[in-house]
Structure 1
Amino acid sequence: MRLSGKLAIVTAAASGMGRAGVERFVREGARVAAIDINADALAALVEEFGDSRVTPVAADLSTPEGATESIDRAVAALGGADILWAHAGMPGPASVENLDLAAYDKAIALNVTAAALGAGRVAPHMRARGGGAIVFTSSISGLVGSMMSPIYSAAKWGVVGLGKSLALAFAPDNIRVNVVCPGLADTPMKVGFTGRSGDPAEAAANEAKIVSAVPMGRLVKPGEVADAVLWMVSDEASFVTGVALPVDGGFTAR
């Protein structure tokens, strides 16, 4: 098993890619602290995988207190930390015209600030255990611009920069930091990008437009992103740090 004996923390763990990551980490031998705002969904995770393998931590990561205290609770429950997948994020406003600053601030807080605070909080615990692996979730929108989601794109570019910078800062401590950049995924958050107006026809048209630009001709599956992250946090990637890895069916290869 690739993560035997490892202590892992996953944020936004109760659905989509994060949930797929919890499943893979547990399957590969890790104990996981699963952080999410949805306490009921976390309870379902524990019921499926068992409380000896998954510890639920309910928290709102869009607040500084939630972002830091959830990591503290996760580390305390696990007895340390070897892995952090900082996956939490949200689409944010669709336009800079008449920008809703409250929505803007929340998007930056959840996409960027929570990742930075989480990494800062967990790093000393990884250092104490001789090293570790951190993965941030960015997006293809963190590698190329997004006309539908400019604030999300700005935030995710920030996440890529954060990941590369911390890879340099933490390398002497044997803490690897990488970034995964998924394309549009078939998850509950998908409609937040494609159907902002609430019109199902608009959502379908936008999804079709995006798929048409993907050389492999489909959306990414949550498990495909989780598989990439599993590799990045495993010893198989022991000399890989500072990488922003697209999982996008070739979208950013153009």
Structure 2
Amino acid sequence: MRLEGKLAVITAAASGMGRAGVELFLEQGARVCAVDVNAAGLDALRRDLDPSGERLSTVEADLGSPDGARGSIHDAAGKLGGIDVLWAHAGIPGPGGIEHLDVGEYQKAFALNVRSATLAAGEVIGHMRKRGKGSIIFTASVSGMVGSMWSPVYSSCKFAVVGLTKSLAQTFAPDNVRVNVVCPGLADTPMKVGFTGRGVSAEAAAAAEAKMMTMIPLGRLVKPMEVAHAALWLASDDASFVTGIELPVDGGFTCK
């Protein structure tokens, strides 16, 4: 039980990698507060993983708003009685190109991908100081390690998250709080269509996915649970001397 007795918060927890993280963290002994804007998804999470509500609590919040990003951490800490681990996973693909860019859509992408993570970290650090240690995990992307020709807005947001990680790892080290970031490749989640199928036909989306496959040495998409296992390692004491790293979970995409 690698998280026995730990109090963990996971954002964007109602589906995909976040939901896999809730399942895995519970399995490994943590008490978990799942945060998402999707109330129905949170209801399903409780029903499927912890009907009694003994070890899983939820907070419905719009992390794209400053009040939601901060308030969700405050509410989660109240439900758990503290926070040892934060996996700030929320994000969206955002607009595809920058010609004729919709500034509102750009701001929405930045707010959810970057600002929500920044505000959550700023809110959670006080709770972790009270516990004497902690682990903050962000989610970026391989597009935050190497530029993406298809998603410049998303890529720039995820580079910002990687930079935030490296800065906060130094800032929070005196508090015995580690800060790391997982960088998944293209994953088989509901968000996939936001990358491969944005504004194109089903045939074009399939062709884009096939092209991506040729760039992944292991030859397939990453599974949500594989990313959750990476986050579990960073959350656990197995990674007690690991801070400031960007951990690709990408089948070798970034090794070339």
Give the TM interval when normalised to the shorter protein. over 0.9
Aligned amino acid, residue 214 of structure 2: S
Aligned amino acid, residue 13 of structure 1: A
Equivalent runs, 1:27-46 vs 2, <5 Å = 27-46=27-46
Structure 2 CA distance, aligned partners of 1:207 and 1:159?
Answer: 25
**Structure 1: which 5+ residue stretches go unaligned?**
none
Q: Report how far residue 202 of structure 1 moved.
A: 1.2
Structure 2 CA distance, aligned partners of 1:69 and 1:125?
Answer: 13
Aligned to 1:216: 218
Q: Report how far residue 44 of structure 1 moved.
A: 0.8
Q: Residues 181-200 of structure 1: CA distance to partner in whole angstroms, max 9, x if unpaired?
A: 00000000000000011411
Aligned to 2:107: 105
Aligned to 2:157: 155
Residue in structure 2 matching 1:82, options 81, 84, 96: 84
Residue in structure 2 matching 1:235, options 205, 225, 237: 237
Aligned to 1:165: 167
Q: Percent of aligned positions with the same letter in both sequences?
A: 63
Structure 2 CA distance, aligned partners of 1:2 and 1:215?
Answer: 30
Structure 2 CA distance, aligned partners of 1:153 and 1:36?
Answer: 23
Aligned to 2:7: 7
Structure 2 CA distance, aligned partners of 1:61 and 1:118?
Answer: 9
Q: Residues 76-106 of structure 1: CA distance to partner in whole angstroms, max 9, x if unpaired?
A: 1000000000000000111110010000000
CA RMSD in angstroms, aligned pairs only: 0.6
Q: Secondary structure at the match of 1:172?
A: helix
Q: Residues 23-78 of structure 1: CA distance to partner in whole angstroms, max 9, x if unpaired?
A: 01000000101000100110111112221111111111011011011111101100
**Structure 2: which 5+ residue stretches go unaligned?**
none
Structure 1 CA distance, aligned partners of 2:103 and 2:191?
Answer: 21
**1:183 equivalenced with 2:175 (yes/no):** no
Structure 2 CA distance, aligned partners of 1:66 and 1:239?
Answer: 32
**1:60 equivalenced with 2:68 (yes/no):** no
Structure 2 CA distance, aligned partners of 1:197 and 1:122?
Answer: 37
Aligned amino acid, residue 3 of structure 1: L
Aligned amino acid, residue 35 of structure 2: I
Aligned amino acid, residue 32 of structure 2: V
Q: Secondary structure at the match of 2:86?
A: strand
Structure 1 CA distance, aligned partners of 2:218 and 2:41?
Answer: 32
Structure 2 CA distance, aligned partners of 1:174 and 1:62?
Answer: 29
Runs (4 or more) in structure 1 with deviation over 4 Å come to none
Aligned to 2:120: 118
- Larger mean CA deviation between 49-58 and 144-153 belongs to 49-58
Structure 1 CA distance, aligned partners of 2:49 and 2:34?
Answer: 11
Aligned to 1:138: 140
Structure 2 CA distance, aligned partners of 1:111 and 1:79?
Answer: 27
Aligned to 2:47: 47
Aligned amino acid, residue 197 of structure 2: G
Structure 2 CA distance, aligned partners of 1:77 and 1:188?
Answer: 28
Aligned amino acid, residue 48 of structure 2: E
Residue in structure 1 matching 2:71, options 60, 69, 72: 69
Paired residue total: 254
